[in-house]
Amino acid sequence: MTGKQKAAMLLMSLDTMTTVELLKGLPSEDVHEIGMEVVRIEVSGRRDSEEEAKIVQEFCGALQRESRGFSIKGFINDVLVKILGRDKAEQIKSQIKKVSEKKDPFVIVRSASTDELVLALKGEHPQTMAVIVSELSPKKSQEVLSLLDEEARLKAVRKMTTLDTVSSEVKHRIATIVIERLKTLQGETLPEGQQQTLRKLAITLSGLERDLRDRLLEELRKQDEQTSKMVRNLMITWEDIPSIADRTMQELLRGVDGKKLALSLYGADKRIAQKIRANISERAAAMLDEEISLMQEPLEKEILDAKEEVIKPIREANEAGTLRRVKQ
């Protein structure tokens, strides 16, 4: 190993302040070269803890067998900026980016927003969609798939079952194509979906006087009965439960079946579950716990149907103008 390689491995074993102290007296050219060695070692994935320990012993006489959470970003921001200044540190950062992208062409793809990815994949071949989605984190891949149109989603999922036959060269070309599209889409977002638009309309109407609200909803029903029904339902949703006044909540929950209530709380948001539990009796809470303990993993449709049962009397109270809510 060269001296600069050893120095790089030593720095990767030390904390930021110690690193700064060690580099203070070096010429900026040496700091730059050591910084690039750090990047090469980190990006290559060839870190050897035993070798690092030997080097630490050689330089410091203190054997360290474990690294202390070194990060390239922290090294650049906390060390190189202090020693070289921001401009030179940014130059190194640019070089690091190029090295990272050469090793993994999907780095830029993963950093794009969900909306940007969906827009970039619009009209692309199912294999392209499959490759990109498979390179994302599980959470992000689910978000992207859910926002693709149904036909594209099905074709992409089918292609994902045969990705083992796709060569690395083809994947690299796909990454390059999508990256070029992403460059033109930075900051763009998907158009608002129908449900979001109708939810805004529902919130607006729910804030009006009851007579005026009902007249407007009736006019909407005459034009489109299905849309009118959706707007009425969106005036109160499952997510609105924490905003309902406790006394009103207590009254409305009395008529809800215990099994349905338990089912509705399966995997529910913590705030909603706490709101419901806080507004039922101790006996009802004990029965609720018993139902949950005996419950087998339900189907998603069963949970959704149970939530509708719970929200139904709340919607009826809202329609009748008797629903009391608290400010969030």
What is the phi-psi region of residue 167: left when phi exceeds 0, alpha when psi lies from -120 to 50, beta otherwise?
A: beta
> Strand locations in 120-258, DSSP E?
none
- Is residue 74 domain-resident? yes
Q: How high is the pLDDT of residue 68?
A: 45
Alpha-carbon distances, residue 74 vs 41, 87, 155 (angstroms): 16, 16, 41
Average pLDDT over residues 120-140: 91
- Is residue 238 domain-resident? yes
84 and 26 in a common domain: yes
Residue 199 banded pLDDT, cuts 50, 70, 90: confident
237 and 174 in a common domain: no
221 and 131 in a common domain: no
- Is residue 327 domain-resident? no
Residue 131 banded pLDDT, cuts 50, 70, 90: very high
Q: How high is the pLDDT of residue 83?
A: 64
Which residue type does 62 have?
Answer: A
Which residue type does 319 have?
Answer: E
Q: What is the pLDDT of residues 267-294, one digit of tens each?
A: 888 899 999 999 999 999 998 888 888 8
54 burial (CB, 10 Å; 0-12 / 13-18 / 19+) is middle
Q: What is the pLDDT of residues 296-319, one digit of tens each?
A: 888 888 999 999 999 999 999 998
112 and 10 in a common domain: no
309 and 213 in a common domain: yes
Average pLDDT over residues 229-237: 88
Average pLDDT over residues 240-244: 92
Out of 50, 72, 103, a domain closes at 103
Question: What is the length of the chain?
Answer: 328
143 and 76 in a common domain: no
CATH number of domain containing 203: 1.10.220.30
Instruction: Please give the mean pLDDT across all residues of the chain.
Output: 81
Q: How high is the pLDDT of residue 119?
A: 92
Q: What is the pLDDT of residues 208-232, one digit of tens each?
A: 888 888 888 888 888 888 888 888 8
- pLDDT of 117 higher than 90: yes
316 and 199 in a common domain: yes
Average pLDDT over residues 122-138: 92
Q: Which of 157, 301, 320, 180 is nearest to 252 (CA)?
A: 320
- Is residue 237 domain-resident? yes
* Element counts in the chain: helices (H) and strands (E): 21, 0
Q: How many domains does the chain have?
A: 3
Q: What is the pLDDT of residues 173-193, one digit of tens each?
A: 999 899 889 888 877 877 766
168 and 76 in a common domain: no
Cα 148 from chain centre: 17
262 and 172 in a common domain: no
Out of 103, 120, 142, a domain closes at 103
Average pLDDT over residues 82-88: 70
pTM of the model: 0.47
Out of 68, 83, 103, a domain closes at 103
- pLDDT of 13 higher than 90: no
Euclidean distance between the first and the last CA atom of the chain, given in angstroms as a whole number: 62
| Residue pair 20/89 in contact by the 8 Å Cβ criterion | no
- Is residue 266 domain-resident? yes
Domain with 286 in it: 194-320
- Is residue 34 domain-resident? yes
Least confident of 15-24, 88-97, 107-116, 255-264: 88-97
Rg (CA), the chain: 29
Q: Percent of the chain having pLDDT more than 70?
A: 83
Average pLDDT over residues 149-172: 89
- pLDDT of 163 higher than 60: yes
The C-alpha atoms of residue 146 and residue 272 are separated, in whole angstroms, by: 24
Alpha-carbon distances, residue 120 vs 104, 126, 132, 171, 311 (angstroms): 19, 13, 10, 16, 38
Residue 138 banded pLDDT, cuts 50, 70, 90: confident
205 and 307 in a common domain: yes
Residue 77 banded pLDDT, cuts 50, 70, 90: low
Q: What is the pLDDT of residues 38-75, one digit of tens each?
A: 777 766 666 677 777 777 666 644 333 334 445 555 65
122 and 96 in a common domain: no
178 and 202 in a common domain: no
| Residue pair 314/245 in contact by the 8 Å Cβ criterion | no
- pLDDT of 95 higher than 80: no
Q: How high is the pLDDT of residue 253?
A: 92
- Is residue 50 domain-resident? yes
Q: How high is the pLDDT of residue 100?
A: 57
Q: How high is the pLDDT of residue 129?
A: 94
Give the pair of three-digit tokens for residue 295.
């419950």
> 3: part of which helix (H) or strand (E)?
helix 3-11
- Is residue 326 domain-resident? no
Q: How high is the pLDDT of residue 244?
A: 93
Q: How high is the pLDDT of residue 150?
A: 87
